[in-house]
């Protein structure tokens, strides 16, 4: 199952990339469903973060791609409360400049499901995850444009 979304943000690509890239460990500052986030002490510096995520509990998000030049990153997501039928979750982000003070942010989520569950749950899961992705994009947009979290 794959889900892609994008949004245009009225802030420079460098500013948005700083929030997503350099400040990767600080997602709890602006994403409402991330209750707490910090660098993962079990990974090399810059290798990922640990979070408390509403509905998923403790999660580990390990970077498998980080490209400052292309403003692109990707990470795997493992939550203590992940359903057994979800074999792997990957999330990718990319920030592209659109003029001086605008950026387009792309996100791509890939979820590998067990075969039987793929047939049964792809539709409902896409809908649920789509709502969550739209929310995080709107929160990123607000934070990038206003310098504070959307309350």
Average confidence (pLDDT) over 95-123: 85
User: Domain limits at 98?
Assistant: 2-146
Q: Would the pLDDT of 115 be above 90?
A: no
Predicted pLDDT of residue 88? 84
Residue 151 lies in a domain: no
Can you read off the two tokens belonging to residue 17? 């990339």
| CA-to-CA separations, 122 to 48, 80, 118, in angstroms, rounded | 28, 21, 5
Which residues, including other chains, have CB under 8 Å from residue 60's CB and lie 6 or more apart?
40, 48, 49, 50, 77, 78, 79
pLDDT score, position 30: 98
Question: What percent of the chain lies above the pLDDT cut of 70?
Answer: 92
Q: Which residue has the higher pLDDT, 80 or 120?
A: 80
69 pLDDT tier (thresholds 50, 70, 90): very high
The answer to which of 16-25, 93-102, 105-114, 117-126 has the lowest mean pLDDT is 117-126
Q: Give per-residue pLDDT as tens, 14-58.
A: 999 999 999 999 999 999 999 999 999 999 888 999 999 988 889
- Looking up residue 61, the CATH number of its domain turns out to be 3.30.530.20
For 37-102, the DSSP string reads EEE-TTS-TTSEEEEEETTTEEEEEEEEEEETTTTEEEEEEEETT--TTEEEEEEEEEEEE-SSS-
This prediction's pTM: 0.90
- Retrieve residue 113's tokens: 């499901």
- Residue 3: helix, strand or coil by DSSP? strand
Are 53 and 59 in contact by the 8 Å Cβ rule? The answer is: yes
Work out how many domains the chain is built from and give that number.
1
pLDDT at 122: 66
């Amino acid at each position: 199952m794959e889900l892609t979304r994008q949004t245009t943000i009225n802030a420079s690509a460098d500013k948005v990339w700083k929030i997503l890239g350099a400040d990767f460990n600080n997602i709890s500052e602006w994403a409402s469903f991330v209750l707490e986030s910090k660098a993962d002490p079990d990974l090399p510096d810059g290798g990922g973060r640990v979070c408390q995520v509403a509905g998923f509990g403790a999660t580990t998000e390990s970077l498998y791609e980080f490209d400052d030049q292309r403003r692109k990153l990707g990470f795997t997501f493992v939550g203590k409360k992940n359903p057994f039928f979800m074999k792997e979750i990957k999330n990718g982000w990319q920030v592209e400049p659109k003029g001086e003070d605008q950026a387009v942010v792309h996100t791509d989520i890939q979820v590998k499901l067990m075969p039987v569950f793929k047939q049964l749950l792809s539709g409902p899961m896409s809908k649920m995850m789509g709502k969550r992705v739209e929310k995080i994009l709107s929160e990123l947009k607000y934070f990038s444009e206003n310098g504070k979290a959307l309350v």
